[in-house]
Amino acid sequence: MTKWVYNFGAGQNDGRAEMRNLLGGKGANLAEMASIGLPVPPGFTISTDLCTAFYKNDRRYPDDLDDQVLEALARIETAVGLKFGDAQNPLLVSVRSGARVSMPGMMDTVLNLGLNDETVKGLATASGDARFAWDSYRRFIQMFGSVVLGVDHHRFEEIIDQAKIDADVIEDTALTAHQWEEVVEAYQALVLNETGKPFPQSPHEQLWSAIGAVFGSWMNTRAITYRRLHDIPADWGTAVNVQAMVFGNRGTDCATGVCFTRDPSTGEDIFYGEFLVNAQGEDVVAGIRTPQPLSKLRAKPGEISMEEALPEAYAELLKVRETLETHYKDMQDIEFTVQSNVLYMLQTRSGKRTAAAGLRIAVEMAEGGLIGRSEALMRINPASLDQLLHPMLDPDAKRTLISRGLPASPGAASGIVVFSADEAEMRAQKGEGVILVRVETSPEDIHGMHAARGILTTRGGMTSHAAVVARGMGRPCVSGAGGIAVDYGSQTLSAGGRMVRSGEVITIDGATGEIFLGYVAMIEPKVSGHFGTMMEWADDVRTMAVRANAETPLDAETAKRFGAEGIGLCRTEHMFFDPSRIGAMRQMIMANDMDGRRTALAKLLPFQRDDFIALFRIMAGKPVTIRLLDPPLHEFLPHGEHELMEVAAAIGVDMATMTQRAADLSEANPMLGHRGCRLGITYPEIYEMQARAIFEAALAVAEETGAAPVPEIMIPLVGSKRELEITRAQVDRMAKEVFAAAGKTLEYQVGTMIELPRAALLADQIAEQADFFSFGTNDLTQTVFGLSRDDAGKFLPKYVESGIFEKDPFISLDRDGVGLLVKMAVEKGRATKGKIKLGICGEHGGDPASITFCQEVGLDYISCSPYRVPVARLAAAQAAIGTRSDRTA
């Protein structure tokens, strides 16, 4: 015989919290609460297995179910001393659905089942309260009528509304027994009229119909859609709970309420909830009457708290709260009912909370000794920290949605619309808040993106240029808002029939991808004390260092504030795009010979040196990895006649030569072309200038602060040992020159980025020339997959959707392919040089799943964008805990 039915309450608990798959969350926790001595009205749960069996068997119940239900029902009868269907004093029950995970779309609960035209009179006599009995009956007909028989619930409400008008009262509770009796009559007429059958009078028929309706609701359209959207398998099934009723609607010493054991929005350790006197079930959330606060402290003038109205039950509830938290070791969301001053528990589950509340609760529970620090660390989803580091829209603020795009970089921002990077910068300098709106962005827009409060693009995905750069800068960004048409010519954007001109205000929410008209009120982020505490704990357990990818002083400051332990990637090319330098840069590129290049580079040297001085100062004593020039030269080419003429004049050549030179430099496939160390080898003077700037800057800061920085010079796009050997020799030579001139020396390192498959394959050889490896997993992913990130948007989403790729490999490191190469390079690198320093500086350095991988292969550090540093610190701690054997300490 299969066991389908599990008892709970009144001393017999067949279930436990861990059995939620079989009993559903509600059933499992009712049994758990009862087993730890909390007052739970007795009942039973029909398992989710039965639901599955029911559907396998053409919607028929197994033969042995009937007996098991009857037996369990008899047990309830004995426990409460009442009989189901008894005309004098009937047992009433609730029938409640409950799947593994709470699931909208499932059948609503039916309360007071077992009432009919006879038993209602018995209930009236036995309770001595006819109003209560008829109120219960009409509630039952209404719930059963709408959820089991399918009569529109509005039709019932119309009848009550009319009854209140006739009786000239406002509150439901003011209707008398007789008036409720009339409502019941009208309800029954409605049911007869709508269903063609009288309201079922047999309690057993009522029970089986309600049970059938719960199982039937598992396959209704709403539930199926919800499951599809949330990847819930159909064979999980739902359970059904049948439970003896307790009555919160039996007078002024009765009540019903819902609460959280701590404040779910702030996490404060304070009872947070609402209740209603003389009410039942969902009245609290239904908005019929205004619910009252639980604690006196929270009561506003005119409100009567539960603490005052029902002091005994409130005291019980406080004890229950303590018991529940001690037992579940987490904040709980509970439902309760008070009948004649006695408290009953009807539900508990772990409470949903904001990111801020989650953090505070975990920290305070660990401080209070309820859970260990590791457990506290493990409870926080690192990605949720993102929410705490950016301003958010005030949830109560009014807003007008105009369109939607992808949530590319979190945070909200309001500002005036501008359509070019230059205008963004110009207006920002005047103190205006701007939102940069582009069809898409390119490296030349960086200054405008930096100046903007937020970025909106109409094309490109979550890994488009705009998205990646915005995340790096911590700018809110909505990308790929295809519903918006941008017209640069008329300086307008239009969406859904609305037009916004340049200079008008919009608000974007990078966490949801929404775009609103005008200003929307915001809440500033608070990096509270709990946040700091959690970060300290994370730092104590993690074994990988966390650095930031940063090149501007602002980014470096931000990174340091968020706890970065150095810079893992300073991309020097960004330093050349600055308007004051791009001219010299262009002159360098367009020069025909080495002398011309040297002249132009000499102009750039002081700029570079100052950049590095600023970084070294901020990162005093911490490691700073500087990547020498990487992008293909053509990215710096002058555009259009005007710029070409400017450069021609500056270096003294004619336009024909200039145009020819530009044509010579253009490439069919620049990302696989003349870039990285290939530039360093063909134009050695570029890397020499950069190396000089680095060493001079380091010496200057050592002199100034007494704390010598340790520059780590990184050569990009190396594919063979020889390339590194040649470029390294240039750097070493510059070091010698600079040190000789200064009469001082410094410690420094030279290493390489591992971003080509060949470099990974031959890492043992390359390691002979490298002091460190930094895995450039953006390029490595591109080259391993043979896939260009900028073009991937056209098909990658489809790949992810149809499961060809589990995740976007640019967001989460591809363990199987790219990861294999990383692992191989780690092993080969260490085989050659045991102490070689290993890190990662791709976008993956800020992705928790990829961070776990980095821990597993044994990297020394991870580096990510400044705003992701806290996320990475926590993720690294979790990865360290995950690989430890003692997880509870």
Q: Which residues are catalytic?
A: 465, 841
Decide whether 35 or 752 has the Cβ nearer to ligand ADP: 35
Decide the pairing of beta strands 434-438 and 749-754.
unpaired
How far apart are the C-alpha atoms of 211 and 217, rounded to whole Å? 10
**Listed ranges 13-21, 242-250, 350-358, 637-645: which one lies at the site for ligand ADP (CB under 6 A):** 242-250
In the structure encoding, which two tokens stand for residue 795, read together? 């098909």
How far apart are the C-alpha atoms of 211 and 205, rounded to whole Å? 10
Q: Which does 337 bind (CB under 5 to 8 A by kind): Mg ion, ligand ADP, none?
A: ligand ADP
Task: Give residue 238's identity as a one-letter amino acid code.
Answer: T
How far apart are the C-alpha atoms of 270 and 261, rounded to whole Å? 7
**Listed ranges 118-126, 271-279, 283-291, 747-755: which one lies at the site for Mg ion (CB under 5 A):** 747-755
What is the three-class DSSP state of 859? coil
Are residues 850 and 809 in contact, defined by beta-carbon separation less than 8 angstroms?
Answer: no
- If binding is defined by CB under 6 A, does position 347 make contact with ligand ADP? yes
Decide the pairing of beta strands 90-91 and 567-571.
unpaired
Which of 307, 573, 779, 843 is the binder for Mg ion (CB under 5 A)?
Answer: 779
Q: Which does 779 bind (CB under 5 to 8 A by kind): ligand ADP, Mg ion, none?
A: Mg ion
Decide whether 112 or 865 has the Cβ nearer to ligand ADP: 112
How far apart are the C-alpha atoms of 745 and 736, rounded to whole Å? 8
Fill in the DSSP letter of residue 589.
H
- If binding is defined by CB under 6 A, does position 274 make contact with ligand ADP? no
- If binding is defined by CB under 5 A, does position 280 make contact with Mg ion? no
State the Cα angle at 93 between 92 and 99, rounded to 5°. 175
Task: Give residue 372's identity as a one-letter amino acid code.
Answer: G
Tell me the angle at which helices 684-705 and 721-742 cross, rounded to the nearest 10 degrees.
50
Helix, strand, coil % (nearest 5) of the chain? 50, 15, 35
Fill in the DSSP letter of residue 523.
E
Are residues 840 and 510 in contact, defined by beta-carbon separation less than 8 angstroms?
Answer: no
User: For ligand ADP, how many residues bind (rule: CB under 6 A)?
Assistant: 15
In the bound complex, what is the minimum distance in angstroms from residue 59's beta carbon to Mg ion? 26
Q: How many CB atoms lie within 10 A of CB 89?
A: 14
Q: Which does 755 bind (CB under 5 to 8 A by kind): Mg ion, ligand ADP, none?
A: Mg ion
Fill in the DSSP letter of residue 575.
G
- If binding is defined by CB under 6 A, does position 337 make contact with ligand ADP? yes
- Sign of the Cα pseudo-torsion (209, 214, 216, 221, in order): positive
In the bound complex, what is the minimum distance in angstroms from residue 283's beta carbon to Mg ion? 13
In the bound complex, what is the minimum distance in angstroms from residue 459's beta carbon to ligand ADP? 43
Decide whether 515 or 841 has the Cβ nearer to Mg ion: 841
In the bound complex, what is the minimum distance in angstroms from residue 345's beta carbon to Mg ion? 11
What is the three-class DSSP state of 508? strand
- If binding is defined by CB under 6 A, does position 41 make contact with ligand ADP? yes
Task: For the chain, report the end-to-end CA distance as a whole number of angstroms.
Answer: 44
E strand or H helix at 494: strand 492-495
Which of 267, 281, 476, 676 is the binder for ligand ADP (CB under 6 A)?
Answer: 281
In the bound complex, what is the minimum distance in angstroms from residue 323's beta carbon to ligand ADP? 18
Are residues 465 and 441 in contact, defined by beta-carbon separation less than 8 angstroms?
Answer: yes
In the structure encoding, which two tokens stand for residue 271, read together? 């009872």
**Listed ranges 161-169, 238-246, 299-307, 430-438: which one lies at the site for ligand ADP (CB under 6 A):** 238-246
Decide whether 80 or 605 has the Cβ nearer to ligand ADP: 80
- If binding is defined by CB under 6 A, does position 245 make contact with ligand ADP? yes
- If binding is defined by CB under 5 A, does position 755 make contact with Mg ion? yes
Are residues 215 and 51 in contact, defined by beta-carbon separation less than 8 angstroms?
Answer: yes
Q: Which does 41 bind (CB under 5 to 8 A by kind): Mg ion, ligand ADP, none?
A: ligand ADP
Q: Which does 776 bind (CB under 5 to 8 A by kind): ligand ADP, Mg ion, none?
A: Mg ion
Burial 92-128 (b: 16+ CB within 10 A, else e): bbbbbbbbbeebebbbbbbbbbbbbeebbbbbbeebe
Which of 776, 842, 845, 848 is the binder for Mg ion (CB under 5 A)?
Answer: 776
Decide whether 464 or 533 has the Cβ nearer to Mg ion: 464
Decide whether 41 or 709 has the Cβ nearer to ligand ADP: 41
**x/- site string to Mg ion, residues 346 to 375, per CB under 5 A?**
-x----------------------------
In the bound complex, what is the minimum distance in angstroms from residue 335's beta carbon to Mg ion? 5
Decide whether 310 or 346 has the Cβ nearer to ligand ADP: 346
Alpha-helical segments (H) within 786-868:
796-801, 818-832, 848-857
User: For Mg ion, how many residues bind (rule: CB under 5 A)?
Assistant: 5
- If binding is defined by CB under 6 A, does position 282 make contact with ligand ADP? yes
- Sign of the Cα pseudo-torsion (25, 29, 30, 35, in order): positive
**Listed ranges 70-78, 162-170, 243-251, 849-857: which one lies at the site for ligand ADP (CB under 6 A):** 243-251
Are residues 586 and 640 in contact, defined by beta-carbon separation less than 8 angstroms?
Answer: no
- If binding is defined by CB under 6 A, does position 246 make contact with ligand ADP? yes
In the bound complex, what is the minimum distance in angstroms from residue 385's beta carbon to Mg ion? 27
E strand or H helix at 569: strand 567-571
What is the three-class DSSP state of 215? helix
In the bound complex, what is the minimum distance in angstroms from residue 750's beta carbon to Mg ion? 17
In the bound complex, what is the minimum distance in angstroms from residue 221's beta carbon to Mg ion? 23
How far apart are the C-alpha atoms of 681 and 881, rounded to whole Å? 44
**Listed ranges 189-197, 446-454, 514-522, 774-782: which one lies at the site for Mg ion (CB under 5 A):** 774-782
Decide whether 108 or 808 has the Cβ nearer to ligand ADP: 108
Which of 116, 243, 507, 608 is the binder for ligand ADP (CB under 6 A)?
Answer: 243
Decide whether 43 or 711 has the Cβ nearer to ligand ADP: 43
Are residues 372 and 888 in contact, defined by beta-carbon separation less than 8 angstroms?
Answer: yes
Whose tokens are 């002083």? That residue is: 553
In the bound complex, what is the minimum distance in angstroms from residue 108's beta carbon to ligand ADP? 6
In the bound complex, what is the minimum distance in angstroms from residue 41's beta carbon to ligand ADP? 5
- If binding is defined by CB under 5 A, does position 551 make contact with Mg ion? no
- If binding is defined by CB under 6 A, does position 611 make contact with ligand ADP? no
- If binding is defined by CB under 6 A, does position 335 make contact with ligand ADP? yes
- If binding is defined by CB under 6 A, does position 348 make contact with ligand ADP? no
Decide whether 107 or 163 has the Cβ nearer to ligand ADP: 107
- If binding is defined by CB under 5 A, does position 332 make contact with Mg ion? no
User: What is the DSSP annotation of 230-258?
Assistant: TT--GGG-EEEEEEE---SSSSTT-EEEE
Decide whether 278 or 502 has the Cβ nearer to ligand ADP: 278
In the bound complex, what is the minimum distance in angstroms from residue 860's beta carbon to Mg ion? 20
Cβ-Cβ contacts under 8 Å for 641 (sequence gap 6 or more): none
E strand or H helix at 767: none
Decide whether 25 or 90 has the Cβ nearer to Mg ion: 25
Question: Phi/psi at 238 (nearest 5 deg)?
Answer: -115, 155
Q: Sort 60 into a burial class: Cβ within 10 Å, 0-12 / 13-18 / 19+.
A: exposed
**Listed ranges 244-252, 476-484, 675-683, 824-832: which one lies at the site for ligand ADP (CB under 6 A):** 244-252
Q: What residues between 77 and 136 interact with ligand ADP by CB under 6 A?
A: 94, 96, 109, 111
Residues that bind Mg ion (CB under 5 A): 335, 347, 755, 776, 779
Contacting positions for ligand ADP (CB under 6 A):
41, 94, 96, 109, 111, 243-246, 281-282, 335, 337, 346-347
